[in-house]
Every structure is written in structure tokens, then in C-alpha cells.
Amino acid sequence: MLSNYYSKKKKVILSALGLNFLICNIRNLNKWFLMSLPALKCWVPVLSNLRQTNHLSLFKITIFFLIQVTPIPELFLTAVKLSHDNTGARYLHLAREDKNNLFSVQFRTTPMDSTGVPHILEHTVLCGSQKYPCRDPFFKMLNRSLSTFMNAFTASDYTLYPFSTQNPKDFQNLLSVYLDAAFFPCLRELDFWQEGWRLEHEDPADPQTPLIFKGIVFNEMKGAFTDNERIFSQHLQNRLLPDHTYSVISGGDPLCIPDLTWEQLKQFHATHYHPSNARFFTYGNFQLEKHLKQIDEETLSKFQKIEPSTIVPAQKPWDKPREYQITCGPDSLATDSSKQTTVSVSFLLPGITNTFEAFTLNLLSSLLIGGPNSPFYKALIESGLGTGFSPDVGYNGYTREAYFSVGLQGIAEKDIQTVRNIIDRTIDEVIEKGFEDDRIEALLHKTEIQMKHQSTSFGLTLTSYIASCWNHDGDPVELLKLGNQMAQFRQHLKESPVFLQEKIKQYFKNNQHKLTLSMKPDDKYYEKQTQMETEKLQQKVNSLSRKDKERIYEKGLELRTQQSKTQDASCLPALKVSDIERTIPFTELDVTLAAGEIPVQYCAQPTNGMVYFRAFSSLNTLPEELKLYVPLFCSVLTKLGCGILNYREQAQQIELKTGGMTVSPHVLPDDSHLDTYEQGVLFSSLCLDRNLPDMMHLWSEIFNNPCFEEEEHFKVLVKMSAQELSNGIPDSGHLYAAIRASRTLTPAGDLQETFNGMDQVRLMKRIAEMTDIKPVLRKLPRIKKHLLNCDNMRCSVNATPQQMSETEKVVERFIKNLGRSKKERKTVRPHVIEKPAYNGSSGSTYVNGSQIIRKLITDPTFKPCQMKTHFLLPFPVNYVGECVRTVAYTDPDHASLKILARLMTAKFLHTEIREKGGAYGGGAKLSRDGVFTFYSYRDPNSIETLHSFGKAVDWAKSGKFTQQDIDEAKLSVFSAVDAPVAPSDKGMDHFLYGLSDEMKQAHREQLFAVSHDKLTDVSNKYLGIGKCTHGLAVLGPENAKIAKDPSWIIR
């Protein structure tokens, strides 16, 4: 619902959750989050007793049939598999000592056209149900719960509804709402109109204005297909698996969505949303008995078993390869306008329910494409023909049969055949030579790390990971036995050294089900799309009778009236503010001075035998003209070689000895002054405790002896980085708009734009276009002199208490080996403030030892000013941002503004921007740096949305909200404030921002104290026109009103 169409398939979502290593290619550090085991000590023996019986008599419930109980020690959990007697509904519970409990229900949804019926249904079921008939209970529950996650997702062949929370009462409330929404939705016609599509007058109140297409999913999918990678991925699946449901677009093609009728939507629900077609999943440390009882009483007891006809048949294999060519829109940010073609070669693989074969092919995929030592990286990326791998590269295990794809984007059309030849030749070479043992070990080492590394969203990770396999009747428990699969993999390699080559021969060399797909830009692509949409609209309008038109006008008014009406949500369950913990748990920290001068923060945590190291180095002495190049410096620093290692050897060592080494620029706000900030670079890495000396040796070499001579490889990295930034704009346009809008509001704003904004995207485009890249490469050693030393550095380590003593020695040795400047470098900015982070001697009883001194930049002469920027991009939708300068974190008004942002989002902006305006998303938020941001995402409007932001301020100033509204906003804010923190991240607020737990507790008390008067006061004080400085930015198509307004800068 918030990011609900699995457009680039699950890869995007699962990589964010940390499941790249089994779902797609191993390229980056991926996060598996495993907690420790205590509760399972009681679970395992209790559940093992259940094996003696056939039913869950222990739970006093006889309606669920117990299938199996399986301890999975490598993931510190016990799996309980059940089925429901009356309906055949499947149920999997993963018992684990994790307080962040999760529920999900998934349905196999197999559309046979591209009207987007499963996607629109996913939206519409959440708009009201029998027990909870108020409009939009899903969004209302965001403000009535302490959920750590709420969403819904539409994949190619299933729909998933997950939520998570740490509060047992909240779990029951959300479970009740989700069950009623999925199984007993109202599916009102007006909700279908709002969420899916409708014909409506441009101005619903004026029947003389033209009829146009509107609808949230309609606009969402128009936005989705502005992304050329998405277009390519969608066509790849449609063409490679053409026989059944994968030949259509489950999210909906904007040109087909208007063919869907309300009746068809209701029919699809009736045939697909039944317990017999459902898979229920729970995870965590709450009692299974209570879950089963509630699910049966509220839902399953009201159904009888049916035989759902949703099975996806096997794709018939081809007897010869196929080729297709498609078109897309031109990329205005492409590094070379003559090189915008994409080509890939894809192979159909076996079904995903064979878990060991899927595991093997996944690892094989990573060996083929992962990192600079992989055969396809060497052959394709380093050929210089393109800017990066084609979309959907690697193993894709989301469809009934998996597939593997490899190719290049950013090539010249004339090079298509050359790329195909390289792919064929590389396959032959791998069959002949195989893989080095070290590369296989590095991959298995990475898997071991991912099983130990802990995160706060492990339940969500697991439900996403098992969804596709379980959807096609595979065994989700077998899928989770990673230890077994690794052991089996090693055994096969031992028995047959050519095991992997045989797989390549079988599935790639001798596979006739092979698709070559190419995509080239068409300058008139968007023009043609608009023309087809206009024709579709005309066809719809021409078929209307006068009575039809009158009904459309009346329905439009009815919908607008309903959207504007104050909703009674009293039917919905809710937590109270009194359910929120009044105090936070405090984290014990120790700060010591290594080598007599460098502060190191130690935080003892249950990290599962992992060590997490970070270092922060100041940019205060770096000349201003080099600042633009800091993000590039960070992205290539660990990829060009160091010491005696060339870049390939370095990549190998990083994979063998660490879970990843990353470097990133940071602009850190001060907690008490808007015009003060810290600028620097954060170095982060993690490893198994046995590998700590090796990891720190790698950092020593990177700091002391980085290599900046690999010009050819540097070119490759620059092109890939520029392509990734350009590709990311359709998904992150609202973030770019907000960064630009805040640029002139604080001294840090300009640096944020330099590091993370459209300026950086355009800079990387220019560098990638350079024929001679040496001048840029020569800047890197200059940056190194200012950054890679311990003059202005602090470090942090999170590890288990048992590891601390040895860890201190290794970190001390690393710091002693670091270089120091021969002469003291002066800061570039004259105004530097030394500010200690709080410790035992300065107000924090939980921080022991020395102080961390942060050197902050301030600009007493800074004057904020308004800037309005329109970035012209060839998209049919807009991304809008308006930012306001307010107050810093410790000011009591900051807490009021944080609550106000949530209140405005839930009670005003959601209705205006999403429901009435048709944007995919919109709202308000307050950042830690004191910038208050209004935003919209995939929005058909721009100027109208800016007017809505203004109306939201007027609404807030008028105080037209109740105490119940305020309490709901507080619940929503606290659900974010109290989100679980992984052991690896404990103490980071103190390390990076200088925030003690006492300061966070004081802020917490300010949040509790926010009142109606305080909210209207801050609305008047900061948000009104002329009160504080505003900045505006829009990314999107040409706009006549903006073009005529000289106050806007057009870029």
C-alpha cells in the first residue's frame, strides 16, 4: 500500500531487508538479523512433545492439524507447520526470542490480463470492511497503533499483507483489522473509483471541464513505468514466461487499467481471497495459541474448504531461442545520448520449489556476476561497452520457474551482437575453467555472516523470503534450513570438482529456452504513450450516453463529498498514549582514548560473534573546491586496490574476511543550533570475531596506502555510479525535491545538495562523459591527505562483552598505525565550535570514561533565503517538495512540530494529496536538522499540491483537530521513536550526533507534553507565510504556470 507493487520484483524490497544473498546477486552487504536463543530452550522441548499427538491439544484447540515441528538452530528458531481442518488454510509459525512480532497472510493471485486487478484489489480491501466499515482503516491504524511495520504488496503471482509490532495488544488489534480487511472487505464502488481508476471532470465541481482519467493506482503505475529499468524487467518476465499469468502486468498497465470493472474486481476477490488459497504466517515470541484462536474465531470458522483454481502451470520449454526488441523513453541524464540501449540474455531455470537446486543456482549466479572477480564483470563491465549490468541481472527466484539474466545497459545499438557474443564466449570459458576455490569460500563466508548478522525486521525478511516458494506449494521449512543446504553444497563440490561447470552446461550452454531482449530509446516514447492514453480516454468518453455523463458528474461530487467528510473511526481498535512506555532503556557506553588521543566508543551487545567497527573523520580542513568530489571518493575508495593488493585482490579479501566495507559522506546537524553542523565521512564494516585482525589490517592499508592509479577501472566505477544515480530518480524523486528545497534554509543544506542532491547526479553525469578522466582522478589523493589520517577522527565498536578485551587491542594497533599530518592543517571555515558529546562528567550517567569532542562548523552570518527550482524531467508525474526552516532538536517546539507533521499528514494531507489529488503518496515530516518538509510522490499535480500544502497550514493554524487526533499522532510518532534498534546500531546516536540517552528521554517527555495549544502555536509561529523561510522544488514534466513565473529557476 505504501510501496506495494513489486515492480522490480522482490529484489528491491528484499535487498532493503537483507535477503539479496539468496534471492538475487551477492554484491553488497546484505542484512540478516538473527537474535539470540533463550526462549527456544522452552519452546523446543514443549513443541517436541507435540510430535506424539496429531492435534494441538496442548493449545486446547483441535481445529488446526499439526504437520511438523522443526528446530532450525542456524536461525535460532523453531518452525511449527500446521493446517486448518475445515478450510485447508496453511499456517507457519516461527518461534523465536524476538519481541518484534510479525503476522502476514498471502494469497496466490494469478491475473490473466494487465488491468491490475490484484493490485487495485490490494488497495481497495484496505478501504473498509464489515467489522470496520469506516473509510481507510489501514491508514487510520497507522495512527492508532505502535506498529513497527504495516504494508501490503502485490507480486506477480501473490498478494501479501504483513504487519509487525512489539506490543501484544497492538498485535491483536492489527490482526483483527487485517483479517477483516482481507476476508470481509466492503469493496465499495467509490473506493474502487478512488484507488483504481475513474473518469472524472478535471474540476469535479464543474461539469464543463473535460473528463480525464484519475485514480491512485492509475497514477502510481504511470509513475512506475517512467523507470526504464522497470520497463525492461517487466518485458523480460512477460516474454520469457509467456504461457500464463507472467505474461501480464499484475500491477497494471496504465493503458489497460481503465478496462477493469468494479464487478470484475469483486469477482477476483471471491475466487482468490479464500482461506483455502491463503497462507498464514506468524513470527516472534508471542503465544501461538492466541494467534490460532483469534484467526479461527474471526475468520476461518466462517468458511468451508474449496479447491481454488489458482495454480500456475509449468512454462512449456522452447525448442529454440527467441529475440525481442522494445522501446523506452530517452534518459535526459544519460552519460552518452548515443549509448542508451540495453540488452540481456536470459535463461529459464528449474522450478523454485527444489530448494537445493535453487540454493545452488543462486550461489552460481553470484559467482558469475558478483564483484570484479566474477567472469561476467570482467567480460562485460570491463569491456567499456556499457555503463553497468542490465536490469534484473542474476538469479530471479520469484516466479514458478526461476530464471537467470545477464547483459549490459548504456551501450550503443550497434554493439548488441558484440555483447551477445561476449556472453556466449564467457559461458564457454567458465565451463572450461570453473571457479577459484577462494571465490567459492568467500561466498560461503558471506552466507555465514548473513546468518549471524542481526536486524530488527527479521520476521519481515523471512515472510518475504519464503513467499514465492510457499506460494507454489514448496516447503518453506526446507527453504530455511540454510545450514543443511550449505553442507550439501560442500559435499557436492567435494564429490565432483566440476559440479558447478556441469550446472552451467545444463542450464546455460544447452538451454534452448533462451531470450535475447534489447531495449532502445525512442525520442517520441512519452509522446506516443500520451497519445495512446488520449485515444483510450476518447474511446471511453465517446461510448458514454448523456445519462452516463450525468452519473459520472454526480459520482464525482459524491466521492469528493465523502473524501471531505470527517470520518468516524470509533469502530477501530486503538492503543492509548498511556500504553506507550514513559522511559527508554539506557545503553551503557565506554569511551577510551586510543594511542592517547583518538576517542573510541565501545558498546557491549549480544552481536552473535560479530564485530562492528566504524570511524568518523572530519572534512573541516578539506578545500571547498574538492567537496563536490567527496561522494565519488567514498564510493571508489574500497574498490581501487590498497597496499600490495590490486582491486581484484582487494575485493577478494573484503569478501573473505568481512561482511562489507563501506564509506559514505555525512552532514550531521547540531542538536541545539540550526546554523551549526558537523561534516565528515563515515567508514563502516563488520566481520566475524575471528577475522577482526584481518579486517583492521585492510582498513590500515586503505587509510595508509590507497591506490589511485587504476584509471581504466576508475572509469568503469564512475560510469556505473552515474548510471545508478540516474536510474534511482523515479523511485527517489521526492527525496531529491526535498534536498533541493531545503538547500538555502541552513548552512548544512548546501552541503547536503552537494553530497546527495541533483547537483551530485549532474556532476557524475559530467564526469562520466569526460574523454580524459585524469584531472578527476588526481583530486582523490588530495582528498586523501585531508581525510585518511587520525587528526580529526573518532571510532566506535559494537561487540560481545567477551570480545571487548581483544577488540580493544586490535583497534589500538590500527590507530597507532595510522598516519598523522606533518603540519597542523587549518580548517577551511573560520568558525569551528568544539562540542563534547555528553558523558558521565557532563550529564550522562551511562557513558563512562573520556569525552568525544565534535568539531562543528557554524556560520554566524548565514541568512536563509527562498529558492524555487523546477527540474524538467520527461516523466508524466511530479515529485514535489516544500521545506520550512524551524528549530533544532532540543527546542521544545521541535517535539510539537514533529507531532504536527504526523497530524497534518493523517488528518489533512493524505485526503488532499492522495485521495483527492490521486498522488501515490504525500505528507509532512520534520527532520532532525529542524527542516519541516511537505512532499508528494508520483503526483499528477504540482502547483495544486503546493496550494494543498498552504491549505494544510491554514487547517493547522485553525486548530480544527481533537484530542483524539493528537493522541493518534503521538502514537504514530512514538512507533517510529521506539522502533527496535539492532545490537550493531546501539550507541550510534551518541557516536554520530552526540545525543545521550538523557537528551533523548528529555525529548520524549517533550513529545508527551505536546498539547492542542502548542500545536496551534507552532503552526502560527513557524509555518505561516512570512514567518519562516520556505524553499520549493518540483521534479517533473514541463509546467506552463511555473514557466510563466519568474520566481522559479528552471533546470
Mark out the alpha helices in 241-374 (DSSP H runs).
Answer: 262-272, 288-298, 355-369
| Cell triple for 116 | 491490475
> What percent helix, strand, coil does the chain show, rounded to 5?
45, 20, 35
Distance CA 110, CA 118 (A): 8
SS3 of 150, please?
Answer: strand
Distance CA 699, CA 978 (A): 34
Distance CA 910, CA 914 (A): 5
SS3 of 17, please?
Answer: helix
Longest dimension (CA), the chain: 85
Set 74, 97, 122, 429: catalytic member: 122
| Cell triple for 1048 | 522559479
Q: Strands, E, within 672-733: which ranges?
A: 676-688
Distance CA 669, CA 650 (A): 34
Measured on CA atoms in the order 371, 372, 375, 379, is the torsion positive or negative? positive
Measured on CA atoms in the order 790, 793, 794, 800, is the torsion positive or negative? negative
Task: Spell out the residues 6+ positions from residue 976 whose beta carbon is closer than 8 angstroms to its own.
Answer: none
Would you say 962 and 570 are in contact if contact means Cβ atoms under 8 Å apart? Answer: no
Distance CA 765, CA 757 (A): 13
Provide the CB-side half-sphere exposure for 946 (13 A, CA). 21
Radius of gyration of the chain (CA): 28
Distance CA 984, CA 456 (A): 10
Distance CA 1051, CA 1041 (A): 15
Would you say 902 and 143 are in contact if contact means Cβ atoms under 8 Å apart? Answer: yes
CA 96 remoteness from chain centre: 24
Instruction: Name the strand (E) or helix (H) holding 484.
Output: helix 482-495
Instruction: Name the strand (E) or helix (H) holding 90.
Output: strand 90-95
| Cell triple for 496 | 565432483
Nearest-CA neighbor of 102 among 308, 286, 358, 371? 286
CB-based burial of residue 698 (10 Å sphere; 0-12 exposed, 13-18 middle, 19+ buried)? buried
SS3 of 974, please?
Answer: helix
Distance CA 340, CA 334 (A): 7
For residue 601, the cross-strand partners are 591, 796
Distance CA 464, CA 160 (A): 9
Range 871-893 burial, b when 16+ CB lie within 10 A, else e? bbbbbbbbbbbbbbbbbbbbbbb
**Would you put residue 710 in left (φ > 0), alpha (ψ -120 to 50) or beta?**
beta
Nearest-CA neighbor of 944 among 970, 924, 926, 918? 918
Would you say 686 and 729 are in contact if contact means Cβ atoms under 8 Å apart? Answer: no
| Cell triple for 975 | 512507533
Nearest-CA neighbor of 187 among 258, 273, 248? 273
Would you say 906 and 968 are in contact if contact means Cβ atoms under 8 Å apart? Answer: yes
Distance CA 86, CA 757 (A): 56
Nearest-CA neighbor of 477 among 49, 209, 95? 95
| 202 counts as catalytic | no
Which amino acid belongs to residue 985?
A: D
Catalytic residues: 122
